[in-house]
Structure 1
Amino acid sequence: MASQSQHRVYIPSNARSNQYILAEFRLDELFYSHFSSPAEAYQKISDTLFTLCEENSLHNVHVLANDKLPIVRFNEESYCLQTKKQVLFFYNPKHHESHTCLSEPGHQARKIRIIFLATGDELRAHAADFHRRVTKVIGLFKADLAHCPTVIKIRDHQHLTYDLFANAKGNKESYGYKLRSLAPRYQARACDLPSTHSEMTYVTVGIPLTRNIKTRFLKESDTGYAKLYRYIEDSFLTACGAKNLSRIAMVANDHIPLVRNSQVDRNDQNSELQKISFDPANHDSQYFGYWHEDKLVQTIYFIIAAGDEDKNDIGYGKFMNSVEGALRGLADKLEIPATQQNVTVRFYQHVSYHA
């Protein structure tokens, strides 16, 4: 029993599940030459895609022809907000549906991104069926759209989001998760992934620099924020080291972290996003710290990635127990009040391949 229990993590019953699939392909001048304008090309892409989506019960799908990256979050109200580099989708999978095409006048997109948002109840239980329907639509889309590029990259994203201190706030019910990796989960439901797929599993948590933290750890005599960041950084490294977690990052530069596999992507950043690439196969310590001593941010992001050694037939439950232990240790050092402040944990599972 003890051996089995260590591979099961108990997550609050009010945790939110989310899933979306991103399909993307590049457009060249040859593709655009078949249309009178980029707008006509995007209309043709949208018309073809949305017809197929209706036929396959995919009710929340968006075409992005503006070279911006989609970010997905839960919300009781449906919003689509844009920044210079991002499109933020806020929605409740139980209630919200939409088919839209987002483009900008005069802009010729280098890449088309199609985002399929899962809808309905029990998203995790129905994840394989959603993936199967999306890949079916993508195959039909490639066949039906003349001049469509032959290679489309698929990224399947799944999240579990919950408050680390839900129990302290009175949410006593929890559910034991094994957190199996996507490939065997899908295979058990007759949805096989290509053998040449790439997987990433990781956790992110954003901790606001509240007045309490600043007053405790910042002194009026400080001429910058280096001492504060180093204290938090050292606390994070110590907490993770105690749990043998070695693929980690701290982002405090006002950028949103994006996690990738270093075998596919390199570390990079733009004005809004911080790409962090880990190698799951490399057992050496991988730490990335991004902060500036002259700039105080509102939120610090911490990332902990799983390695190949954390992946087993049972699942990532043991890894998540270690992650939770490290995060509780960090919260203790920062003296975060469990009954008053949320520490929102996001457990991510991604798989990507070319279709």
Structure 2
Amino acid sequence: MSLQKVYIPLATRTSQYIMAEILMTDALLSHYASYENCYREISKLVFQLAEKEDLHNIHVIANDKLPVVRFHTEAYCFQTAEQILFFYNPAYHEAQNLFFQPDYKARKLRLLFLATGKEIRANAANFHNRVNAVLNGVLDNLPEQELKVKVRDHQHMAYDLFARAKGEKKTYGYKLRDIYQRYKSRRCKLPEDHSSLAYVTVSLPLSRRLKQSVLEEEHTEDFSPLYQFLEDKFRSAAAGKQLHRTAMVANGLMPLVRNSKFEKVESTAEAQMIGFDPTATDAQFVSHWDGGNLVESVHFLLVAGKEDYTEPGYGRYMNQVEAALKDFAEAIGLDPERHELVLRFHQHISYKR
């Protein structure tokens, strides 16, 4: 039974956010005096309905920028040309914001709901139900009916793979059930026609010691040997634990994983889109790095396939992932007592309503 659970530190950070994308049609916009008027009226409606559902961290995005959510002890919000980065602590931070450009016609109106509280994973289904109640109210009160809406539920768990080596002995066993089945048992019904994905990401800072251990000269213009060394060790460790959907990104872009069976995968100037089909039987490895560009961190991804899910959850898969990453860390000379290797387990589910 222990193989069906993964035991992770009690200090693990959990987060959840739900994004609803509403297609901004000309028919909908025709009911408002201006783009700005449309965005303000809809956001006012969203905030009012969210208050009734006891939801206190909501953002309406009308500039077509992609939201990226991260944990932080302080609340911050930064915008780039393509993204809006939200940093927050679910236990404390609340916010209500509207992001727009007055004369800009958004392709999509994104409603972003960030989960708050201390028992995020335990209350995930309840949070999803309350967000859906808000969406029902929004769609019922908009002047245009039959709008196309896509809902994306994102859940993350993050912890240091070497926490035990640093003295953190207390752990909790997780089965890591599939979102659809977990919600079903908690009276949160999702459409059978949905897309789901589970994967792990790890970011490895390129320390001076690591670079010097591989590169012959401290000042070099070709970092290919370093990247090839990391790629070889990572692929070998993953293959040794029968993990066959992996990726390495070292080009300075933020990796974003998509289900290629359902979504079109297109990279941008800031994001490296990576598509995996969890139902495909062939091994899949994706690599994006440039030997002439030295990045601060290298990103490694391990994506779960259909065969990696065994009842009652992803526990067995995560044990394989942890074992592979520990082998990888040893192969590249990381010291568990001195270094930190943060593992992030992602579960996503999306559907149209």
The equivalent residue for 2:296 is 298
Deviation at 1:267, TM superposition (A): 3.4
Q: Alignment partner for residue 310 of structure 1, among 308, 313, 317?
A: 308
Match of 2:339 in 1: 341
Deviations 1:321-344 (A, max 9, x none): 111111111111111121122111
| Pairing 1:328–2:314 present | no
Q: Report deviation, 1:313.
A: 2.4
Instruction: Identify if the C-alpha distance between structure 1 residues 276 and 176 changes in structure 2 by more than 3 Å, giving closer, same or farther.
Output: same
Confirm or deny: 8 A CA contact 2:176 2:314 kept in the other structure.
yes
Q: Please point out which of 186, 190, 207 is paired with 2:187.
A: 190
Matching residue of 2:175: 178
Contact in 1 for aligned 2:310/2:316 (Cα 8 Å)? no
The aligned residue for residue 231 of structure 1 is 229
Give the drift of 1:222: 5.4
Q: Deviations over 1:124-154 (max 9, x none)?
A: 0000000011111111110011125522100
Pairing 1:234-313 to 2, within 5 Å after superposition: 234-313=232-311
1:52 equivalent in structure 2: 49
The one-letter amino acid paired with 1:110 is R
Q: Distance in 2 between matches of 1:342 and 1:71?
A: 23
Amino acid at match of 2:187: A
How many residue pairs get aligned? The number is 352
Q: Distance in 1 between matches of 2:111 and 2:216?
A: 48
**What secondary structure sits across from 2:4 in the alignment?**
coil
Alpha-carbon distance in 1 for matches of 2:34, 2:262? 33
Q: Against the structure 1 CA distance between its residues 211 and 151, is the aligned structure 2 distance closer, same or farther, given a 3 Å change threshold?
A: same
Q: Does 1:83 find its partner at 2:90?
A: no
Any stretches of 5+ residues in structure 1 without a counterpart? Answer: none
Distance 1:26 1:330, change over 3 A: same
Q: Answer yes or no: is 1:132 the counterpart of 2:129.
A: yes
Q: Does structure 2 conserve the Cα–Cα contact (< 8 Å) formed by 1:78 and 1:96?
A: yes
Maintained 8 Å contact 2:156/2:347: yes
Tell me the residue number matched to 1:7.
4
Indicate if the aligned counterparts of 2:31 and 2:143 stay in contact, CA closer than 8 A. no
Q: CA deviation at 1:105?
A: 3.6
Match of 1:93 in 2: 90
- Fraction of identical pairs, as percent: 45
Whether the 8 Å CA contact 1:251–1:300 is kept in 2: the answer is yes
Q: CA deviation at 1:176?
A: 0.9
Mapped contact 1:48–1:145 kept (Cα < 8 A): no
Whether the 8 Å contact between 1:26 and 1:149 is mirrored in structure 2 is no
Instruction: Tell me how far apart the structure 2 counterparts of residues 102 and 223 of structure 1 sit (CA, whole Å).
Output: 41
Q: Structure 2: how far apart are the matches of 1:104 and 1:341?
A: 43
CA drift at 1:106: 2.6
TM-score with structure 1 length normalisation?
0.97
Whole-angstrom CA distance in 1 between matches of 2:321 and 2:291 = 27
Task: Work out whether 1:207 is the aligned partner of 2:204.
Answer: yes
RMSD value over aligned CA atoms? 1.2
Q: Decide which of 19, 22, 35 is 2:19's aligned counterpart.
A: 22
Deviates more, 1:114-123 or 1:23-32: 23-32
Contact 1:67 1:112 in 2 (8 A): yes
